[in-house]
């Protein structure tokens, strides 16, 4: 492990707190040290209060902040004297401790201080760094982990047995540190938890952390427990989307709400899932209880990030067998599922949550396998994991989590999503909490949004194979399909029937009608497995009820699509799939309506551009967002008992009315 300290970078940070921010971010850059909000850092600073009195404050990382992106505002200033007095108490409940931390800050707007604030306060150093370094956690999670730690570090580290984070740990650390620390002490190890380093400067504390972790990595290399075996299994090449969607449906039913399920078929995941001893090593618990806390933020709580080895068809039976101790920990909705063909499947209430679970489990797999090579993986007893799962502070977080978005855990797919109504539909669905797959023939679809809950795929909707591949990729990314918005289409130049070529007719039919038949047929098995029932929204046209001259191919294609939707509504009602159509008209904020075209059309009718845009009964302009908002609502609870509806979005058209 190399130090990332850079003098030029460090010079941009001012004062003790600024340098605390800098080295915290350096730690946060390395996922083998810190993952998703884990780890803690602090600095002790003397300041004058409003009365001019000098007092020492402990600036400790606040709850909800991530070391990789933390700012000065992310550190909570707590009066050090009060923390040291608390450390001398014999008992202090967790709710009382949090209250004391919050009521003795000097900035009311600061985040709640870390539960390790008292521990940081008792360590007699200006700067304190705490990480969950993979290499150290690997060594401590073996049968003779304590002896190995002593072998590596000698008297340079104080070794603390595992105690759940909070007041009891702080008190134990204060006692042990006072008894065991000496001039040679450079850090502290918490068994099955992590490692501390200290220093009088930010640089000293940070580089001690790097040096201490490097020694652990070198120890693993020396004992041939660093390099992991490569995978011999290749990802499944056959379509797996129906099986994956069925798995996600079952997990959602067990959880009680829709979930995102992401499939990771990378070589490392496949190698772990195909180990002969995977059932044994995957069921012992997380690498560190802190990982339980991090994933605890997901509403569907199980046994931390412990994997559930499962054939899709029998995984409930498997989890029941492997999760009986203690009984109250049994939860049939896993967060991690291992499968020999798929690799690692991770589950979350959102795409971000599922990604966090994988990040954590990716490191857990490495830790487990290295510990096995070192002599045998040994996690904490189930009771200790249970204590963290049902910790008062964690239960309080869950109760204060708030109501999830209406489409939380649900997956939508939108065609023709690169611009206009399609892009607006993506935005409306994302705003309601859905994860969205956007398809378009334009390459820009792939980078339209840079976020975990969006997947943009280039797809020619006239190519049946590309449609199938897009659905496969969508399901592997998010687990299934709940909502389908069929928007892709073309509006050709005006042409009377007596001049309409067969080629032009077929082209319009292939895009506006045939492709949607393929989408509906291929998506049907997935929509049947939607936890809340499948939903399809057809973006039709005013030309369905009121065709115009010169638009024979377009009007016929949209009318045929409308009829297809009506038949599907009849056939699919028993599968709990509802299908509704929107008929927009005169939506001008799309790519085909340039300023020049608008001006020309308005002039043709003897209107100004503004008059032309609002040439309807309500004299209102219809925009892409108006259509998209109604499309999203059609997928929501307001339309839960409606299917085969046809709703105009046109400001009122006299011919339609």
Question: Where do the DSSP E strands lie in 269-397?
Answer: 308-309, 336-339, 343-348
Q: What is the distance, to the nearest Å, from the Cα of residue 367 to the centroid of all Cα atoms in its chain?
A: 22
- Measured CA to CA in angstroms, residue 484 lies from 488, 521, 523, 524, 538 at distances of 12, 12, 8, 10, 8
The DSSP bridge partners found for residue 260 are 348
State whether the Cα torsion 157-161-163-168 is positive or negative. Answer: negative
- Measured CA to CA in angstroms, residue 431 lies from 96, 632, 633 at distances of 38, 10, 12
- The CA angle 205-207-209, to the nearest 5 degrees, is 70
Nearest to residue 196, comparing CAs of 44, 66, 27, 17? 27
Does residue 361 have an active-site annotation? no
State whether the Cα torsion 638-640-641-643 is positive or negative. Answer: positive
Residue 183 makes CB contacts below 8 A (sequence gap 6+) with none
Q: Which residue pairs, CB below 8 angstroms and at least 24 apart, start in 400-407?
A: 401/297, 401/299, 404/257, 404/299, 404/349, 404/433, 405/432, 405/433, 406/432, 406/433, 406/636, 406/637, 407/432, 407/433, 407/434, 407/482, 407/483, 407/635, 407/636
Is 345 in a helix, a strand, or coil? strand
Q: Are 135 and 217 within 8 A, CB to CB?
A: yes
Q: Are 338 and 311 within 8 A, CB to CB?
A: no
Residue 283 to residue 329: CA distance in whole angstroms: 13
CB neighbourhood size of 253 (10 A):
15
Nearest to residue 323, comparing CAs of 335, 332, 312? 332
The DSSP bridge partners found for residue 59 are 43, 77
Burial class (CB in 10 A: 0-12, 13-18, 19+), 625: middle
Q: Counting every residue, how long is the chain?
A: 657
Residue 579 to residue 573: CA distance in whole angstroms: 9
CB neighbourhood size of 84 (10 A):
15
Question: Where do the DSSP E strands lie in 316-466?
Answer: 336-339, 343-348, 411-415, 435-440, 454-458
Residue 271 to residue 14: CA distance in whole angstroms: 47
Calculate Rg over the CA atoms of the chain. 30
Burial class (CB in 10 A: 0-12, 13-18, 19+), 420: buried
Residue 369 to residue 229: CA distance in whole angstroms: 9
Q: Are 348 and 356 within 8 A, CB to CB?
A: yes
- Measured CA to CA in angstroms, residue 601 lies from 525, 594, 615 at distances of 44, 11, 12
Query: Of 22, 312, 554, 612, which residue is the catalytic one?
Result: 554
- The CA angle 525-531-533, to the nearest 5 degrees, is 65
The residues that are catalytic are 554
């Amino acid at each position: 492990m190399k130090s990332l300290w850079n003098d030029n970078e460090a010079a941009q940070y001012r004062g003790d707190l600024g340098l605390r921010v800098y080295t915290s971010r350096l730690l946060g850059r390395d996922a083998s040290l810190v993952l998703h909000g884990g780890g803690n850092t602090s600095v002790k600073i003397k300041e004058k209060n409003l009365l001019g009195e000098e007092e020492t404050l402990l600036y400790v990382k606040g709850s909800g902040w991530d070391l990789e992106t933390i700012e000065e505002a992310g550190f909570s200033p707590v009066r050090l004297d009060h923390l040291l007095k608390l450390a001398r108490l014999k008992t202090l409940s967790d709710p009382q401790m949090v209250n004391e931390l919050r009521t003795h800050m000097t900035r009311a707007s600061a985040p709640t201080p870390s539960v390790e604030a008292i521990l940081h306060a008792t360590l007699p150093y200006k700067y304190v760094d705490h990480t969950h370094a993979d290499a150290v956690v690997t060594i401590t999670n073996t049968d003779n982990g304590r002896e190995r730690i002593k072998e590596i570090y000698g008297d340079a580290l104080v070794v603390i047995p595992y105690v759940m984070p909070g007041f009891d740990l702080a008190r134990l650390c204060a006692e042990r540190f006072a008894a065991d620390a000496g001039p040679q002490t450079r850090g502290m190890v918490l068994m099955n938890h992590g490692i501390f380093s200290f220093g009088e400067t930010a640089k000293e504390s940070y580089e001690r952390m790097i040096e201490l972790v490097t020694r652990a990595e070198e120890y693993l290399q020396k004992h041939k427990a660093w390099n992991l075996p490569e995978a011999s299994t290749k990802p499944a090449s056959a379509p797996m989307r129906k099986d994956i969607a069925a798995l996600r449906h079952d997990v959602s039913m067990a959880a009680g709400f829709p979930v995102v399920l992401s499939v990771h078929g990378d070589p490392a995941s496949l190698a772990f899932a195909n180990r002969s001893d995977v059932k044994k090593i995957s069921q012992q618990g997380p690498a560190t209880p802190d990982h339980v806390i991090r994933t605890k933020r997901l509403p569907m709580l199980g046994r931390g990030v412990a994997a559930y080895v499962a054939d899709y068809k029998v995984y409930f039976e498997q989890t029941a067998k492997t999760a009986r101790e203690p009984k109250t920990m049994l939860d049939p909705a896993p967060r991690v599922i291992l499968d020999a063909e798929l690799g690692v499947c991770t589950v979350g209430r959102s795409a971000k949550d599922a990604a966090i679970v994988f990040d954590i489990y990716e490191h857990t797999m490495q830790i487990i396998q290295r510990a096995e090579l070192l002599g045998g993986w040994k996690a904490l007893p189930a009771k200790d994991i249970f204590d963290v799962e049902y910790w008062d502070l964690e239960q309080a977080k869950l109760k204060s989590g708030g109501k999830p978005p209406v489409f939380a855990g649900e997956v939508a797919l939108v065609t023709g999503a690169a611009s206009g109504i399609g892009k607006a539909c993506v935005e409306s669905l994302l705003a309601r909490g859905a994860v969205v797959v956007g398809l378009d023939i334009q390459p820009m679809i792939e980078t339209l949004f840079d976020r975990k809950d969006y997947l943009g795929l280039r797809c020619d909707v006239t190519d049946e194979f590309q449609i199938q591949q897009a659905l496969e990729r969508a399901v592997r990314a998010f687990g299934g399909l709940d909502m389908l918005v069929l928007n892709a289409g073309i509006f050709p130049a005006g042409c009377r029937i007596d001049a309409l070529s067969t080629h032009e007719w077929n082209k319009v039919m292939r895009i506006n009608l045939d492709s949607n038949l393929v989408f509906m047929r291929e998506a049907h098995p997935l929509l049947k497995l939607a936890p809340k029932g499948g939903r399809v929204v057809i973006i039709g046209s005013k030309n369905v009820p009121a065709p115009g001259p010169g638009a024979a191919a377009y009007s016929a294609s949209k009318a045929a699509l409308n009829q297809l939707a009506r038949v599907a509504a009849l056939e699919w009602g028993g599968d709990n799939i509802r299908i509704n159509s929107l008929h927009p008209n005169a939506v001008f904020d799309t790519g085909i309506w340039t300023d020049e075209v608008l001006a020309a059309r308005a002039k043709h009718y003897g209107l100004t551009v503004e008059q032309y845009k609002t040439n309807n009964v309500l004299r209102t302009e219809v925009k892409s967002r108006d259509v998209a908002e109604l499309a999203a609502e059609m997928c929501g609870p307001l339309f839960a008992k409606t299917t085969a509806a046809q709703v105009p979005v046109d400001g009122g058209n006299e011919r339609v009315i």
